């Protein structure tokens, strides 16, 4: 079978409209998996951004957010590594299960919402992108981002709730994308998390990368822990399992680590304390935005469901604090920007905010972690 994904000479719908329709995914998925992205024509990110903006011209302009400089010294001469963490909201869940009572269904249309997601990614130009609730990997994110120069990895949940939704686009899962010009893949592990010795429905991906510029190794991981209140001990067990896997992969913290995820856990939960107190010596990057450097943001998700308003801090970027420096972090949306109907909305495609940090390596590679 021939998989035509368009070519670089055609304009608008060469890229966006030729991503496969939901109904075509299953028959094309095997073909997409086997497709060599190196054979596809590259996309100019400026062209793709322009195409997205044409699709979105009837929507309000995207929110403006600013980076906060957190660098305390002159630091590295090397380019920082920009990492983006985002639960993008699975399309099947947004339309079929999540009951965002103040969000018009029109705002959730995939043909436009995918452009809002892409616009956010293109605006911040991450070197590494970590996503959760990806249910359009094979028909949208892999074919597009591979043509932007990213190497792409996806690990679906074994029993995705998306599959319960009529006309779904397959299971949702976690995904990592990194720029091949900046990093070389050394190893990759798909981890199905366990809790109380039982395999669970939650997953993680951990990849060891080599920075081509510095020659330094580091590990990037993405996860999405079990949701809902009443599952705190379960999340704690999943977190312990993930930490143990990461200790093995990083050789007991010899390799610097960045962990991105929707932990579905407030900072008061046990799983948060496990990561804070781990022998991997992790810190949460977004705490550095607070005046004391010790307090998480007031929210990373804000939505209205039939049960009421849900405003929580659930998303984190953890990092090896003695091996890596946080140069800057992207400020969060204000309550005024989010608006009274909360998220998602015509302005913003997900109920979770994207987190973006710029990292640099500590200049003393022999310093103990």
Instruction: Give this prediction's pTM.
Output: 0.91
The answer as to whether 2 is a domain residue is no
Please report the pLDDT score of residue 364 as a whole number.
66
The two structure tokens encoding residue 306: 């039939």
Phi and psi at 175, nearest 5°, equal -145, 145
Predicted local confidence at residue 4, as pLDDT: 36
CA distances from 219 to 51, 154, 183, 185, 305 (A): 34, 16, 11, 10, 36
**Cβ partners under 8 Å of residue 301, min gap 6:** 87, 310, 311, 312, 313, 314, 315, 343, 351, 352, 353
Domain membership of residue 5 (yes or no) is no
Residue 96, domain member (yes or no): yes
Least confident among 103-107, 352-356, 361-365: 361-365
> 310 near 303, Cβ under 8 Å?
yes
CATH number at residue 245: 3.60.10.10
Residues above pLDDT 70, as percent of the chain: 87
pLDDT at 86 over 80: yes
Averaged pLDDT of the chain: 89
**CA distances (Å), 266 to each of 216, 236, 239, 288, 367, in order?**
33, 12, 13, 17, 32
Structure tokens, 64: 């403006």
Query: How far apart are alpha carbons 66 and 216 in whole angstroms?
Result: 29
Phi, psi of 164 (to 5 degrees): -80, -10
Pairwise CA distance, residues 62 & 123, whole Å: 10
For the residues 280-292, what does the mean pLDDT come to?
97
Within 10 angstroms of residue 26's Cβ, the number of other Cβ atoms is 12
- Band (pLDDT 50/70/90 cuts) for residue 25 is very low
Cβ atoms 257, 230 nearer than 8 A:
no
CB 87 within 8 A of CB 131: yes
Per the structure, the complete domain to which residue 98 belongs is given by: 79-364
Number of domains in the chain: 1
Lowest-pLDDT range, 11-25, 191-205, 295-309, 334-348? Answer: 11-25
Please report the DSSP string for 185-229 in residue order. EEEEEEEEEEETTEEEEEEEEEEEEEETTT--EEEEEEEEPPPST
Q: Is residue 69 part of a domain?
A: no
Residue 20 inside a domain? The answer is no
Question: What pLDDT does residue 77 have?
Answer: 79
pLDDT of residue 24: 41
Quote the CA–CA distance of 299 and 353 in Å, as a whole number: 9
Contact 285, 318 (CB under 8 A): yes
Q: What percent of the chain has pLDDT over 90?
A: 79
Position 309 in a domain: yes
Q: Is the dihedral of CA 51, 103, 224, 30 positive or negative?
A: negative
Confidence of residue 30 (pLDDT cuts 50, 70, 90): very low
* Per-residue pLDDT at 118: 98
Q: SS3 of 339, please? A: coil
In the prediction, which pLDDT does 40 show?
74
Spatial distance between the Cα atoms of 110 and 107, rounded to a whole number of angstroms: 9
Q: Is residue 293 part of a domain?
A: yes
Does the bond joining 264 to the residue before it have cis omega, within 30 degrees of 0? no
Residue 209 lies in a domain: yes
Tell me the three state secondary structure of residue 264: coil
Tell me which of 179 and 28 has the higher pLDDT: 179
Q: Which of 75, 23, 16 is nearest to 48 (CA)?
A: 16
């Amino acid at each position: 079978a021939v998989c035509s994904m368009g070519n670089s000479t055609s304009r608008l719908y060469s890229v966006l409209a030729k991503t496969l329709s939901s109904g075509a995914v299953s028959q094309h998925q095997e073909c997409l998996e086997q497709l060599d992205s190196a054979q596809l024509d590259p996309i100019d990110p400026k062209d793709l951004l322009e195409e997205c903006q044409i699709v979105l011209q009837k929507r309000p302009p995207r929110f403006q957010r600013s980076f906060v400089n957190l660098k305390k010294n002159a630091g590295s001469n090397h380019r920082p590594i920009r990492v983006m963490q985002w639960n993008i909201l699975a399309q099947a869940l947004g339309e079929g299960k999540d009951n965002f009572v103040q969000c018009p269904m029109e705002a959730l249309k995939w043909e436009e919402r995918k452009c809002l997601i892409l616009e956010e990614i293109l605006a911040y130009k991450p070197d590494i992108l970590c996503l959760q609730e990806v249910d359009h990997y094979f028909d949208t994110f892999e074919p597009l981002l591979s043509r932007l120069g990213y190497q792409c990895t996806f690990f679906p949940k074994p029993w995705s709730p998306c599959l319960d939704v009529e006309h779904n686009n397959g299971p949702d899962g976690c995904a990592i994308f990194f720029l091949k010009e900046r990093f070389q893949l050394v190893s990759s592990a798909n981890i199905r998390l366990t809790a109380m010795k039982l395999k669970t429905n939650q997953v993680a991906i951990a990849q060891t990368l080599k920075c081509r510029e510095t020659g330094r190794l580091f590990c990037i991981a993405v996860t999405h822990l079990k949701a809902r209140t009443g599952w705190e001990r379960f999340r704690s067990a999943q977190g312990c399992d993930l930490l143990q896997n990461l200790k093995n992969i990083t050789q007991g913290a010899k390799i610097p680590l960045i962990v991105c995820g929707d932990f579905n856990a407030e900072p008061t939960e046990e799983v948060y304390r496990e990561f804070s107190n781990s022998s991997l010596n992790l810190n949460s990057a977004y705490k550095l935005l607070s005046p004391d450097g010790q307090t998480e943001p007031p929210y990373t998700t804000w939505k209205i469901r039939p049960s009421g308003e849900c405003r929580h801090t659930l998303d984190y970027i953890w990092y090896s604090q003695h091996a890596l420096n946080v140069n800057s972090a992207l400020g969060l949306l204000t309550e005024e920007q989010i608006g009274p109907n909360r998220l998602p909305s015509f302005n913003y495609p997900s109920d979770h905010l994207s987190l973006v940090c710029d990292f640099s390596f500590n200049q003393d590679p022999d310093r103990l972690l």
